[in-house]
Structure 1
Amino acid sequence: MPVPFINSIDIKELTPDSRYESYRLFKLNYEAHTLALHPAFDTLFSLNLARGIIPFDHQVNSVKKLLSRFRGRGMLCDEVGLGKTIEACLAMMELITRGLVKRVLILVPPSLIEQWKEETFFKFNLEFITSDDKRFKDCRTDAWGEFDRIIASIHTAKKMPHSNAISQQNFDLIIVDEAHHLKNANTVGWKFLNSLRKKYIFLLTATPVHNNLEELFNLVTLVYPGELGTLKSFKRNYVSSGDRLTPKNYESLRTLLSELIIRNRRATSDVKFTKRHARTIQIHMSEPEKIFYESVSNLVKNQYKGSPQQIKMTLRILQEEIGSVPAAAGSTLESLMDKLSDSITLKELIEQCNSITFPEKLRTLIEVINKLTDKVIVFTKFRPSHALITETLKKCDIPYSPLHGGMTRIEKESSIKDFQRKTKVLIATDVGSEGRNLQFCNNIINFDLPWNPMRIEQRIGRISRIGQEKDVHILNLSTKGTIEDYILYLLDAKINMFELVIGEVDVILGKLDEETEFEDLIIDAWTKSANMAQFENEINTLGENLLAAKQKYFTLKDTEDKIFGNQFTTAVAEESQPEEE
């Protein structure tokens, strides 16, 4: 029955509790006419609203396909480095702009929370609150209904009491990154996501197949329940007997999945990145530095086991800080004075810290900068290190621009412009550089090395990105005998991190341990080792596991190529495709 048109005279007399349902009919009529004014999804409003990005053809076509043919429920399974996050955010922004979506929940691994918050804000002007934000935590479980746009750790969300609170909510859109973690239908995570109420859902993964084809079935079922039939019929029709990873009836399976999955490949896309070259300079500590490093490390080891979680976190940060320069650890050592019983040792360490004013790493940095003829970005994780570097550059009459989280947006923009136009060096912290495209420079110096490899990847991604016309050069300053020296060995010598495609590191780390963050693996190995020989054994074991994870990733990549082929790419424009089939 068609909705009757209600004129402006009627509207004045309408109220929500009208006994003849006029108000409800008017609202329905109004929404129908509003939607009719919007063009179909072959025209994307989001392309003009996004900031600082120029989407590739395959990304634009993927969004159109996801929203039109797939009706806003789909799996984005592009190979790593092709921009699944951009596709998902463009599609989300399109739905929000058209008034089709208000409440959004983005579920990601803990290490990607800040990255998603950064992407959505800086590139799409969408403000999300994260599950570890103080405002969110203050609301306890009520927060899931209090805020309309949430980015949360899926590990937190799937656990009680959060899972119960989330299941009571209605979300317009749910986005899950690294969705392959939900490949097992018997897990709490799969059952949790399957139970949520949502209108639209995007699953993002570069590796939809891991150990067997049943996992692919489970992922597809989260988005399209019943589309692949029952698990029993799926196995009978498409899984080889005796080998659960090898499909049969390839063509039939591809035809079926091509209406459910989007998977662009690097070989068929127009994405091109310049080469990356990495080099390491190993630095030897002075005797005072060595004594300080060993003393602080002993304190960390002695106090770590049995300490409350908050103290453990502080001790881990302290261990990271001394891998930068001694000055970086000063304020943390002072903060521990009233928290640890060993105050005498802490006082001695603070005195040692203050006495080392010109560490060897800083001396090496100045030498390297003086030899460079091009612009360079120097990254450090810590504000005290940033302050020491800028102070030293000033004394050496080396033109520099600062960039850190304590600066206002206008100050940051001004500093970047100065760097682009006249200064030689940009001294940046990880927080200060968030959301910045710095591809007019092609040199990076990692003054210190974050324990989270994704942070290293994000640093490189500031210049190794679309628009970079030159090869990218990465120089790592590594102090011999430090934990960072061993991390660099793991990432460079074992898995050739700096030669991998952007995004592959994250996939490999996910295969290493899905539940434990990389930095936690490192600090656990460090604190339980009685001496350096034992720590080296732990690192070697971790290195072999990393190498196995890398080899597994490439093996599965070959398997996925056989399953999907080129049938799932959107490199060819979708304009000629009908909106519905």
Structure 2
Amino acid sequence: MTDIKFEDQLFGRKVIDNRTVSMTDALKYLLKKEEFRTLDVAVGYFYVSGLLLLKDEFTNFMDNRNGHFRILMGNETNGATVNVLDSGKYHDYAELIQESTEKDTSNISDKEFLGKVSEWIKEGRIEVKIYTGTANYFHAKSYLFASSLNASYGTAIVGSSNFSESGLEGNTELNVLTQDGFFALHHWYNDLWLSKNEVTDFSPELIKIVNNNGAKRALQQYKPVKETYYDFANIFAQPYAELDMTKKWVQELFPHQRSGVISIKEKLDSLNTAVLSDGVGLGKTRTAAGVIRLYLETESVNRILIVADTKLKDQWHDELEAVGIKEYEYEYISRQQLVNMNYAQLKDNNYTLMVIDEAHLGFKNNNTEAYKKVLYMRQNNPKVKGLLLTATPWNNAREDVINIGSLFLKVDAIPNDRKYKQYFLLSPNKLTNKVVKHLANDDAAFKEFWSDVYLQRTRKTYGGKGTRFPHRNFPSVDIPYEPRKNEIFSNNFDVISDLKFPYQDPIKYIDNSKEELGAKQLKMMLLKRADSSWKAYATSLQHIVDKLEKLNVQYLKPMSYLKGKELLNHYVAFLGTAYGIGEYENKINILFKDFEPSEQTDPSQQTIRSQLRKQRYIENLKAQINSLTVTKAKNAIDKMTADYNSDVSTLKMLIDSLNKAYSKVDEKVDEIIECIDKERAKGHKIILVSQFADTVKYYYDRLYTHYNNPQLKYPMGMITGASNTDENGYSAKINQKPSTKKDVLNHFSPRSKKAIELIENNEQIDLVVATDTISTGQNLQDAVTLMNIDLPYNPMTLEQRIGRIDRPLPKGDNNDQIYIYTFPIYQSINSQLKMMKRLGNKMAGVLNDTEFDNVVLPQYEGYLKDITEKKQNAVKTMLDKTDDQMINHSDFSSEKHSEAYQQANKRMYDFKANQLTPLKDPLIPEYSFSNGKKHHSIAVVEIKYYDVNGSYLEKENILVDVNDSKKVEIIDAEKNLNGEIAFDVHNSKALSQGDALTAVERAKEKIYNVVKQQVLEYNKQHEFFAKNIDSTKNKTSVKAAVALRNSAMQEPRMVMSKLQSVNVDPKLLKDITKYLETIDKDDDLFPIVQEIANNPNVFWLEISKYIRFFNPDSIQEMENIGKNIQKASTRKADLEKTQYKVLDGNIVIK
């Protein structure tokens, strides 16, 4: 029976009677659990022969986990002992115990095991006491497993079994497994164990009995491997905390969320900040809610602010409520509300913890309004801690990651051995872009920063104990279209690629160099809509026709009757209206408002660079419009009219073809209905998802009519999102009644949403058709089937969809299969591939900053190519490639983020918690020896770096894989050491001292090679830092500073007047020019620098516009950086002067 099946049986029945489940099997299972380090047994009698039934598991428990075993023994209450008990004479009772134990032990032939028992008793890790209290009998039978002697929770077995062969598997017994009762039982046990009057020590007698019966203890001359592991643990193990599993709110968290809560709180407490960037489906919001709850429990003063999108408020409310947090215990505002607050409102904030959701929106650039507002809050309230949640930033620039992670970072708290600290010390008050860039260029420093501040786990890398994810199945369904429809899909590329869209970015008609970015975006989106549904496609085409007709009626036709100056004036007015020059909006992206209403550009994300870019755009636009002539205007209008006529004719013909082709049959709908019927027959709930609200409404109407006319037979719901309402203003419905997103999802997934009353009242719905508005932050685990009507360009968006149903399985849930359907249209796919090929390298920019996806990722293009060859595996391959790229992205990976590290650290820390007596005078003090076949030799080496003058620089401890002569991480070293504990070479009989010394010499050679490499790396790092912070100035910046100084010398009165007009002390001009010299090409202000370098008078003419970018705080911070750069030490280590020694090591003898 596998451990998982046995676990289900053990925890399901909870009865251990030696019939269905034996005590031997139950104890073996629990002894193998990594989290248990102590076993406390209270029994009527204990026999060493009982331990033999558990030999392998018990030996592993004692040696590999440094286990602790306490036995509280009474007496056997049968006829043979009644007279002794009644006599009340302790002497007789002790003799009885001793006699029965001797008799049992004398029959044991495994003398080596007896030797181990003897050693464990001698070390104090097996302790035995006898109950000698006043009670007539000691009937207790309990087995208590825990992580430590003081644990408040664990697993207990109570009942009738004594610790003997018959009690563990011979007799029919009645024992019950419990976790709820552990605390009380453990308290009772400790109370008895520590009693001065009721118990007496039996360990000395037991060790005599064991030794007298031939216990074979190996002569230990070499340091034991377990002692090496113990010393290793004392160097590297970090304290860890565990949440109290008896608390209801903790039980609402999965294991990875519990470890995440602890890890995040540790980061917040030590550095004042933490960034949680777990992968899709791991429940970041619930983890963050757990962190908040922990603060509410452990801190006396709490004032908590959550900054998140308005549309996420219900989700946050639900997640906080799930862990028992009341609404009055926190404040919630949107990012927009935060940005709209003035600085006076923010100054006196007294928050203890700020939680910022979707931090990649508005906080990845340190010049956005949102970033500056929060930074101001932190500067006025230095004690505030900041927890930021963000999407896994594997495709973000390092600079983004640094900006997010440094917003609340307490520089003084950064450990001195961290390489990234030196960069923060250059700019301690506000991390400037110059310093951000330097840190981003330093691989070693950046990785340390990532490891310390961020926490990122993915579905693949988590691999947590006790956590299971369902298996993904990817059915791909071919759709047999009739020939005329296939012809439409095949011709789409040619038809769409020839469209001109004259209403869009009309400046292109007077500027041939203008990049038609908007038109390319629209063409790609039309092809996606064709892939989604004919209805969405036709609707989009009709919207374009409507806009073209509006353009013609309001502008083109009236202007066709005009001539000369009148025509020019009307055309100029048209361009002014088209671009909203009076109140500039980014019209490049306004095309999407034709299809999916989007939010206005979020000012919280506006950077100085983007503000400048918009400003330049307007200025260039004005210049082009002002330079227009009558001839140019006439030619532009004629071209626009010709394009209007061509586009309208093409589009109307295409719409007519679609309406005729789909007037009777929609093969894709029919195929999806077939798949729904198949899944419905299995009792599966189903989610249908599309990017487009038009598609959702079309499919919902078709499916509702198919299943529920004339009466309701298949309850269902629809969600299109708040910005996509129907003619009555509703964005969600259940059957045909208006509803809300929350209500629809509660009815659809009542178990995961904890709305069980909807099941009891028979108010469930079994199918939801929705846009991607449901793709984030929702647990819809009642469903196991997801049908993708279309696929997003970004595989991470698809991963988010799947994450609604692909979540850690609750204990006992055997629904371990999920189904992710796709319905590819091959002719449509070919059209998309053709368009991608035409766009080539411009593809990334084509869809950048749209509401649909951040970028068309290469994995999606790979999917389009794969789908024709690997029909059933194309989607899986795309997602696997994306996931692998994330996991293997060296920038964003950290050993300490992995569950493997958490488990290794726990093993080490728990191992050292039970004291271990070191061997006295080992033959070779630094090393132990073992002969396992699977593991490598490991050494802990201390290196002290000295420069060429013999001056001390610093020291570090490194881990060396001696076999491969390379530096390794804690996970590998711990695995190799722990694995060798069972293969200890005890003495010179097994390994001669000469051979051992030879092995040590070989190890020294390999360790020295690693030390040499470390000295090189140390010097390389310091050399890089020196070059990286070199204050060599950008030539353009120097030119701009000189030009500004010269212009001021030539026109001093004008300069003084200009500076006074914006309330700037003329004395600051010198500081401003110095500041200009520090700005490099990656700085947001560099476009201004370029302008000043070309013409310094621009600065004086536009001083009211520019001076805000040169505020005194920024200038002062740059001066600080210059001073701190001069202080930074860049001395190199000298190999000859550098010292090293082995602190701890184990050599595997092959």
Q: 2:532 aligns with which of 324, 339, 344?
A: 324
Query: Hey, what does 1:225 align to over in structure 2?
Result: 410
Which amino acid is the alignment partner of residue 887 of structure 2? F
Structure 2 Cα separation of the partners of residues 522 and 303 of structure 1: 23
Structure 2 Cα separation of the partners of residues 125 and 485 of structure 1: 48
Structure 2 Cα separation of the partners of residues 245 and 69 of structure 1: 21
Give the C-alpha shift of residue 568 in structure 1.
7.2
Contact 1:262/1:568, CA 8 A, preserved across alignment = no
Give the C-alpha shift of residue 57 in structure 1.
4.1
Structure 2 Cα separation of the partners of residues 86 and 390 of structure 1: 34
Gaps of at least 5 residues in structure 1 are 1-40, 108-112, 127-146, 238-242, 491-509, 527-531, 537-543, 577-581
Query: Hey, what does 1:104 align to over in structure 2?
Result: 306
Contact 1:439/1:464, CA 8 A, preserved across alignment = yes
CA separation of 1:58 and 1:411: change in aligned 2, threshold 3 A: closer
Structure 1 Cα separation of the partners of residues 465 and 891 of structure 2: 18
Residue aligned with 1:368, SS: helix
What are the residue-to-residue correspondences of 1:12-411 with 2, within 5 Å?
54-60=252-258, 62-63=260-261, 66=264, 70-71=268-269, 73-77=272-276, 80=279, 82-92=282-292, 100-101=302-303, 103-106=305-308, 116=312, 119-124=315-320, 149-151=333-335, 169=346, 172=351, 173-175=354-356, 177=358, 192=372, 195-198=375-378, 199-204=384-389, 221-226=406-411, 227-228=413-414, 234=422, 244-246=442-444, 266-268=462-464, 270-293=466-489, 298-299=495-496, 302-303=499-500, 307=504, 318-341=526-549, 342-355=647-660, 356=662, 357-372=664-679, 373-374=681-682, 375-381=684-690, 382-394=696-708, 400-405=714-719, 406-407=732-733, 408-409=739-740
Deviations along 1:53-100, one digit per CA (max 9) or x if unpaired, are 931244245435645883493314565354333222443577799983
Structure 1 Cα separation of the partners of residues 390 and 687 of structure 2: 32
Give the C-alpha shift of residue 175 in structure 1.
1.7
Contact 1:451/1:519, CA 8 A, preserved across alignment = yes
Residue aligned with 2:670, SS: helix
Deviations along 1:308-328, one digit per CA (max 9) or x if unpaired, are 599988776654332222123
Aligned-pair identity in percent equals 17
Give the C-alpha shift of residue 554 in structure 1.
3.1
Work out whether 1:476 is the aligned partner of 2:822: yes
Structure 2 Cα separation of the partners of residues 176 and 412 of structure 1: 22
Q: What is the CA RMSD across the aligned residues, in angstroms? A: 6.0
Structure 1 Cα separation of the partners of residues 266 and 880 of structure 2: 41
Give the C-alpha shift of residue 562 in structure 1.
4.4
Residue aligned with 1:403, SS: strand
Residue aligned with 1:462, SS: coil
The range that moved more, 349-358 or 88-97, is 88-97
Structure 2 Cα separation of the partners of residues 431 and 440 of structure 1: 18
Work out whether 1:553 is the aligned partner of 2:886: yes
Contact 1:447/1:476, CA 8 A, preserved across alignment = yes
Gaps of at least 5 residues in structure 2 are 1-241, 323-330, 379-383, 426-440, 506-516, 550-646, 691-695, 720-731, 734-738, 751-757, 837-843, 869-876, 911-1150
Residue aligned with 1:223, SS: coil
Query: Hey, what does 1:132 align to over in structure 2?
Result: none
Which amino acid is the alignment partner of residue 823 of structure 2? L
CA separation of 1:398 and 1:245: change in aligned 2, threshold 3 A: farther
Which amino acid is the alignment partner of residue 272 of structure 2? R
Structure 2 Cα separation of the partners of residues 200 and 477 of structure 1: 47
Residue aligned with 1:273, SS: coil
Structure 2 Cα separation of the partners of residues 217 and 458 of structure 1: 25
Give the C-alpha shift of residue 177 in structure 1.
4.1
Residue aligned with 2:499, SS: helix
Structure 1 Cα separation of the partners of residues 397 and 355 of structure 2: 26
Structure 1 Cα separation of the partners of residues 878 and 472 of structure 2: 25
Structure 1 Cα separation of the partners of residues 854 and 406 of structure 2: 33
Q: Which has the higher contact order (CA 8 A, sep 6+)?
A: 1
Contact 1:276/1:474, CA 8 A, preserved across alignment = yes
Structure 2 Cα separation of the partners of residues 411 and 267 of structure 1: 33
Which amino acid is the alignment partner of residue 245 of structure 1? D
Residue aligned with 2:698, SS: helix
Structure 2 Cα separation of the partners of residues 214 and 521 of structure 1: 19
CA separation of 1:268 and 1:551: change in aligned 2, threshold 3 A: closer
Contact 1:440/1:463, CA 8 A, preserved across alignment = yes
Deviations along 1:163-219, one digit per CA (max 9) or x if unpaired, are 99689745642425466997898x879974883424331134687899999998776
Which amino acid is the alignment partner of residue 448 of structure 1? D
CA separation of 1:515 and 1:47: change in aligned 2, threshold 3 A: farther
Contact 1:379/1:446, CA 8 A, preserved across alignment = yes
Residue aligned with 2:822, SS: strand
Structure 2 Cα separation of the partners of residues 215 and 411 of structure 1: 37
Structure 2 Cα separation of the partners of residues 397 and 288 of structure 1: 35
Structure 1 Cα separation of the partners of residues 530 and 670 of structure 2: 16
Structure 2 Cα separation of the partners of residues 303 and 121 of structure 1: 47
Give the C-alpha shift of residue 445 in structure 1.
2.4
Structure 2 Cα separation of the partners of residues 82 and 474 of structure 1: 18
Give the C-alpha shift of residue 353 in structure 1.
3.5
Which amino acid is the alignment partner of residue 150 of structure 1? S
Contact 1:289/1:359, CA 8 A, preserved across alignment = no
Structure 1 Cα separation of the partners of residues 765 and 698 of structure 2: 21
Give the C-alpha shift of residue 120 in structure 1.
1.9
Deviations along 1:249-299, one digit per CA (max 9) or x if unpaired, are x9xx79x976x6656661445432111121212334333323544676634
TM-score (normalised: structure 1): 0.57
Structure 2 Cα separation of the partners of residues 545 and 437 of structure 1: 24
Deviations along 1:505-530, one digit per CA (max 9) or x if unpaired, are xxxxx9xx997777464599x9xxxx
Query: Hey, what does 2:804 align to over in structure 1?
Result: 462
Work out whether 1:440 is the aligned partner of 2:790: no
Which amino acid is the alignment partner of residue 473 of structure 1? Y
Structure 2 Cα separation of the partners of residues 232 and 206 of structure 1: 23
Which amino acid is the alignment partner of residue 334 of structure 2? I
Structure 2 Cα separation of the partners of residues 218 and 195 of structure 1: 11
Q: How many residues align?
A: 449
Structure 1 Cα separation of the partners of residues 783 and 822 of structure 2: 17
Larger Cα Rg: Structure 1 or Structure 2? 2
Structure 1 Cα separation of the partners of residues 490 and 395 of structure 2: 42
Contact 1:401/1:427, CA 8 A, preserved across alignment = no
The range that moved more, 317-326 or 354-363, is 317-326
Contact 2:787/2:820, CA 8 A, preserved across alignment = yes
